[in-house]
Structures are given as structure tokens and as C-alpha cells.
Amino acid sequence: MNEPVVNLELAIEHGLSEEEYDKILKILNRTPTYTELGIFSVMWSEHCSYKNSLLQLKTLPKEGKQLLVEAGEENAGLIDIGDNLAVAFKIESHNHPSAVEPYQGAATGVGGIMRDIFTMGARPIAALNSLRFGELDNNRNKYLFDGVVKGIGDYGNCLGIPTVAGEVYFEDCYTDNCLVNAMTVGVANKDRIAKATVKTVGASIYAIGSATGRDGIHGATFASEELSEESEEKRSSVQVGDPFTEKLLLEATLELIKEDVLEGIQDMGAAGLTSSSAEMSAKSGLGIEFNLDKLHLREENMIPYEIMLSESQERMLAICKPGKESEFEIVCKKWDLDFALIGRVTDSKNLTINFKGKTVADIPSYYLSAGDGAPVYKREVKVPDYQNDLNSFDTNNIRSKESTEKEFLKVFSSTNIVSKQWVYHQYDYMVRTNTVIGPGSDAAVVRIKGTNKAISMKTDCNARYVYLDPRTGAKIAVAEAARNVVCSGAKPIAVTNCLNFGNPYKPDIYWQFSESIVGMGEACRVLQTPVTGGNVSFYNESDKWRVYPTPVIGMIGLIEDIKNVTPSGFQNIGDLVYLIGETKNELGGSEYLKVIYDKVAGMPPEIDLEIEKSTNETILNAIKSGYVVSAHDVSDGGLSIALAECCIINKSNPIGIEAKISSELKEHQVLFSESQSRFVISIKPNFKSDFESLCNSNNIIFQSIGETGGNELNINDLFNISLSKLIDVYYNTLPEIMNSK
């Protein structure tokens, strides 16, 4: 095929601006080749360069005594947990591909984040996700939901990695743009950590794994634009996954690292061969030269542009230590992996691409690297015109519309509240037999074999709060994620994030983004949970819908002794139940306001981060002291929903409660307020005085609200609902919706 003539018009078609095209001409001191234009277009796309977010991301707290690599330095964050062990973890989006091709979009999202983990020498031990869809009365939303869940389940199940936690929300604003954020956690030996670097001029460069095809070409630029009616035509931008090859690649990569034959290794993720090679070259200050004739391809007549931009899955770029080539190839053959020696490390500092005897690209790698020579911008900010009207809505004027019981059941049956068992029963969350607490609880817990340690993990974000007040909402996202891992008995130690927003060139969107970064940073500093890295996904909007700003937090917590693992639900009859924290009249952005009044308005709950930190530390102290039987945070839907969940989370052994809550608030405020820093705790009766003394000594607000027992949920005699009815509503609502035509 004849390559197009490169000019400004073609550059703009590739997503580059006139200013950026002029910069390319100056860098090269000539007109770029077609292959070079493609390389610049993907490496300067939002997805690869973070050009509209990098300056803000640099303000986040990224230091901590347990951090082993700086944020963004490697494929994933890495935390020292002692005993020569480290935890690698990261979250990334696959939103646009999933909105067009839900099954493959979600599946390859899982595969990609897995590779980021095992490329560092960490064996994946768990997968998580954070999902957002439009309301399920829309058949396309049901189709997307069904396809995404199947894609996540099939890929993870085939790979043999348990999917142990996540969150699912439904709001109209996600109708055209579902959000599919995938997270993976892995464990590595500190002395077997691999890096994405090159070190030695002349070192051999291999491509290993699947053959390169035309799937996923321009996937990075596709993820850097708004969805439109034409997006359906871009199905070729969606990659196709093969989890069986991924399993071989996983085992081979870990063995190559163990055998110490690698200088560096990098996943061919977004922008494929281009990003993996350019990033390694720029980071190391050395050049990389390829001969694309050597690469194993699965389609005929592919041109260099297609080869370099392909995002075919299950591929790695590996730099072999000189003299170790034979050992390298033996490992690849052992695992039946295709491989090809495609290049060498040079001293040129350039990415040089040869094909059929010609040099088709020769670019200084520095200019392809995010934070180095790639463009960086800070966009205009403007408070949205609707913000004042949104926030001025007075929730004090809200009154109950129906009986308390009817309102409770309406909120309790919301798709945002009910059990997501329909989702996680499609996942094998017990594979590898390390899962201690699985899906459906505050946070998942996975033990580390050969130790007494366990890792707690959770994804979290209430996007309504962020929509109403981005700074406060982002603080709450961090705080609630921390609260969830505390409930499991873990100390929060670090976060990753996946920042899902609309078009950054729109000043009100950029204001939401900037404010969210400030709030997130503040919370992470107070809670001492540094940000180890993550992902930014802009352009999540269409002609009709714009997603709520959704900065998803992936939180990791450490449990030093597995005996401290704590479940969410009531465990025994006769335990004492406490409400920890203060309940205020805070219904702004609440599930109650949305379900009963069909409104998302007002101000989100206030949060005092110092109180949050002190409360978390007190609860952890009580857990370690052996006082606590169960712990559950009070969040979406308020106290009434939290108590109901405590009764039936342990579905095989439901336990009721007759709760008496003292408050000067109105009934609906007591039941449905979403005030922060609150827990429902059950303790052993003989520890009553010890537990209360601990709370008093730390100035923690608490009240005893009853004891466990019976077959009903009764709160202040406002209603009396059988546990069997709660179980029916909680566990059957979502399956009934998805099974209906």
C-alpha cells in the first residue's frame, strides 16, 4: 500500500494540533514519515502522554517509607511489606473499548493490568474492578453490563487469578460511556523486581508472546476522544484477548526474571511496540533500533505504521543480558511462547525503525516520553454554571413522602445498594485458595502464603459527591476506601487511582479534575496513604451524556497477623452493637434523595480528615485487641442500610437486631443520612468496658444501639422487617432485572 502524504491536515486527522505538528517539524528538522507521524500521534495522545493532567498529578503525595519505586517510575506501584516481600498494584481504565465492544474491551482491560504487575516480577494474587453503567431500564446498558461482566470473568477465570472485590454503580450519565476500571494486586520478592530499563549498548531486544496483528491500531488515540456515532465503526481499535497465551506469558516472564537473564522488560500496552520501546529508551538515555522484518506477524502485508501502532495483546518487549540469549530462548521455548530477536540497544538515544532495508522512523526518544519532551498543558478552569444552583438545594426541606418502611425498602432495593452477587458469582474468587474475605464485604482480604500476613484491597468512589463538590468528593473517595480496608482489620498503606472525567478542553471539566486532585492529595497526606501511580481517562462523554467526575481510588491495606481479619456482617447472637461516629443531617447527594425524590443535588457530607484518621486508628486498635467481632462502614444509603447489610451479609447465618438509636434528628435523617467517619461495630459483651474506654480515651463519638439476635431488623420501632424479606430483596433484585427481557 502507498503511504499517505504527511501534512498538517493528516496530522490533525491523527489527533495532533497545528502547534504540535509544528513542534514535530522542529524536532526532526524535516517532514515526518507516515510511520513517524503515527508514532508521535499515539505517544502525544492523552492516553500515553498525560499531557493535560501531568502537572496536576505531580502535586499528589508520592513519598512514604514503604514505597520501593516512585509513582510513574515503573509499570505499577510497589510497597515494602516486610519479610523481603513487596506488593505491586495498579488500576487502569478500558472505558472506550468497553463502550464499543464490551466483552473484549473488559477482557483486554484485565489482561493489560495483569501484565503491568507481572512485568515487575510480581505474581498476581487478586483482581478488582470498578464499574459504572447507565440505568438498567435501557436495553443497551444491560447489554454493556452483561458483556463487561462476562469479559472480566472469562479472562480472569481462564488466567486463574481470583477477582475478589469491586464496585458497580448505575446512573443515567454513564449511558453512552460506561466506565470499566480494572485493578490487579501482586506479590514479589524484593530481590526479584524487574524494571523497564535498558542498560547495555548492544544488548539483544526480543518481542515475546502473541504475534502482531492489526487489532487495536490507534487504540490509544481512540481513548483520547469523545464517543460519537462513528465510534461504533472503530471496533478495530478494540483489542482481542487470549488469556491462555497470557498465562504462558506470565509464567515465562516470572521465570526469566527469576533466572536473572533480563536487563529490562516492558508490556506492549497502549500504543504497543511504540510506547514500550520509546519509554524504555527515554528512561535509560540509550537508543533502541528495530528491524521490523524480524517480528512475527499474524497478518500479511502489514506496513511499519501498522506494526508499530498495533495493540495486539499478550506481548512483551524484553531486553536480554548480553551472553544470556540462549538461556532466554530456552525459557520461551519451554513455555511454548513465540519470540523474535528484533533489535539492539544503541548509544544514539533515538528510536530507530528499519523495514525492508529502509529507515522508516528515527526519533529522539526524549520527545516521545511523558514528562520529558512530550507536550504538557494546563488547561483553563471555570466553575460550572450549574454548580451554584446544584449546591443551593436545601435538603432541610426534605420530608418523608411515604411510610418509613416503604421508603426504606425503596432505598434498599436500589440497584446501587443491592448485592452484586449476580456479578461476582461469574468470577472465580476462590481460585488459588488464598481468599479469606471475598466479594460482598467492605474489602477483600487475600492471605500471603508462607506468612501470617494478608492484603486487604478495595476500589471506591461516590461520583455523586464529586459531581456536587469535586474537592470534598475526592477526599471522601480516599477516606471511604481507607475505612473499608480498616473494617477488614487492615492498616491503609497506599493508593492507586483511576481518574475518569470528560473532555479536558472544557473549562468546567478541567475545574472538576483540578479540584479532585487537590482533595485527593489532602486526604492521602492526612491518612498517610501515598499515591503510587494510576491512570487518567478523559473524554468520557458523548453528544448526549457526560459522566460524573469519577476519581476511583484503589486502596491497599496490610494485615500483619491473619488472626485480625474481620468480617462485615454480624457473627453471633448476643454481641453488642455500636454506632461509631456522629450522624448529622446530611442528605445531599444521598441514595435517599435520588431514590425518593429523583434528585442529585445539595452539598455532599462534610468530612474531617483528622477525625477520620483518629477513628480508623481506634477501630484498628480495638480489632488488634480482640474486642471486635464485625465491622462495617456506614456509607451509601446511611445507617439503616448498613444495619440491614450487617444482618444479612452472612447469608447462610443471618442475624437480626432491634436497634435503638438516640438522636435529635428527624426519622428519615437518622435512617438515611450519609455522614462520614461512621462504623457499625459488634463486640464481644465481655469487652464492653474496654471498648468504651478505648473510644473515650481517643475522643471518639459512639453509642450502644442494641445487641444481635432475632430474625428481624427493627430500628427505633419505625419498622420491623423479616430477614427473609431483606435477603429476598437484597440478593434477587439484580438477577431479576438482568433475567427480564
Per-residue pLDDT tens digits for 481-535: 999 999 999 999 999 999 999 999 999 999 999 999 999 999 999 999 999 999 9
- Residues 665-687, mean pLDDT to the nearest whole number: 97
Give the pLDDT confidence of 160-192 residue by residue, as tens digits.
Answer: 999 999 999 999 999 999 999 999 999 999 999
Q: Is the pLDDT of residue 235 over 70?
A: no
Closest CA to 80 of 94, 69, 96: 69
Binned at pLDDT 50, 70 and 90, residue 238 comes out as confident
The reported pTM is 0.96
Separation of alpha carbons 135 and 217, rounded Å: 31
Largest CA distance in the chain: 84
Query: What is the reported pLDDT for 219?
Result: 52
Domain 566-741 falls in which CATH fold? Answer: Phosphoribosyl-aminoimidazole Synthetase; Chain A, domain 2 (3.90.650)
> How high does pLDDT run on average in the chain?
94
Q: For the chain, give every residue range classified as CATH 3.30.1330.10.
A: 63-193+427-565
User: Span 339-344, mean pLDDT?
Assistant: 98
SS3 of the chain: helix, strand, coil, percent, to 5: 40, 25, 40
Q: What type of residue sits at position 70? A: E
DSSP category for residue 308: H
Angle at 472 between CA 128 and CA 587, to 5 degrees: 90
Per-residue pLDDT, 237 = 56
* CATH of range 33-62+194-376; options 3.40.50.1110, 1.10.10.10, 3.40.50.620, 3.90.650.10: 3.90.650.10
Distance between CA atoms of residues 38 and 259, nearest Å:
36
Buried b vs exposed e over 469-492: b needs ≥16 C-beta within 10 Å?
A: bbbbbbbbbbbbbbbbbbbbbbbb
Q: What pLDDT score was predicted for residue 63?
A: 85
The reported pLDDT for the residue numbered 203 is: 98
pLDDT for res 202: 97
Whether residue 19 has pLDDT greater than 90: yes
Residue 385, pLDDT above cutoff 90: yes
Residue 223 has pLDDT above 60, yes or no: no
Q: Give yes or no for residue 231 having a pLDDT over 50.
A: no
- HEC string of 145-185 equals HHHHHHHHHHHHHHHCCCEEEEEEEECHHHCCCCEEEEEEE
Give the ranges where 342-469 is alpha helix by DSSP (H).
Answer: 387-391, 404-412, 421-424, 463-468
Backbone angles phi, psi at 33, to 5 degrees: -75, 170
Ranges in the chain annotated CATH 3.90.650.10: 33-62+194-376, 566-741
Give 549 or 269, the one with higher predicted confidence. 549
Q: Which of 14, 94, 218, 668 is catalytic?
A: 94
Name the band, by pLDDT with cuts 50, 70 and 90, for residue 229: low
pLDDT on residue 401: 82
> Helices 139-159 & 102-118, crossing angle to 10 degrees?
30
> How many alpha carbons fall within 13 Å on the CB side of residue 447?
17
Q: How confident is the model at residue 741 (pLDDT cuts 50, 70, 90)?
A: low
Q: CA gyration radius for the chain?
A: 26
User: DSSP secondary-structure letter at 231?
Assistant: G
Q: Does the structure show a pLDDT above 90 at 376?
A: yes
pLDDT, position 239 = 76
Rounded to 5 degrees, φ, ψ at 88 are -105, 135
Residue 187's beta-bridge partner residues? 87, 123
410 grid coordinates? 425503596
Respond yes or no: is residue 47 known to be catalytic.
yes
Q: Of the listed 14, 47, 632, 668, which one is catalytic?
A: 47
The residue whose grid cell reads 497545528 is 18
Q: Return the CATH architecture of domain 63-193+427-565.
A: 2-Layer Sandwich (3.30)
pLDDT for 563-578, tens place per residue? 999 999 999 999 999 9
Rounded Cα gap, residues 131 and 141, in angstroms? 12
The confidence band for 75, taking pLDDT boundaries of 50, 70 and 90, is: confident
Q: Is 94 labeled as catalytic in the residue annotation?
A: yes
Long-range contacts of 620-623 (CB under 8 A, 24+ apart): 620/486, 620/489, 620/491, 621/694, 622/681, 622/683, 622/691, 622/694, 623/489, 623/564, 623/566
Q: Please state, for a pLDDT cut of 70, what percent of the chain lies above it.
A: 97
Stretch 692-702: mean pLDDT, rounded? Answer: 98
According to the model, what pLDDT value does residue 234 have? Answer: 46
Q: Check: CB of residue 642 under 8 Å from CB of residue 634.
A: yes
Least confident of 129-143, 238-252, 480-494, 651-665: 238-252
d(CA 44, CA 220): 10
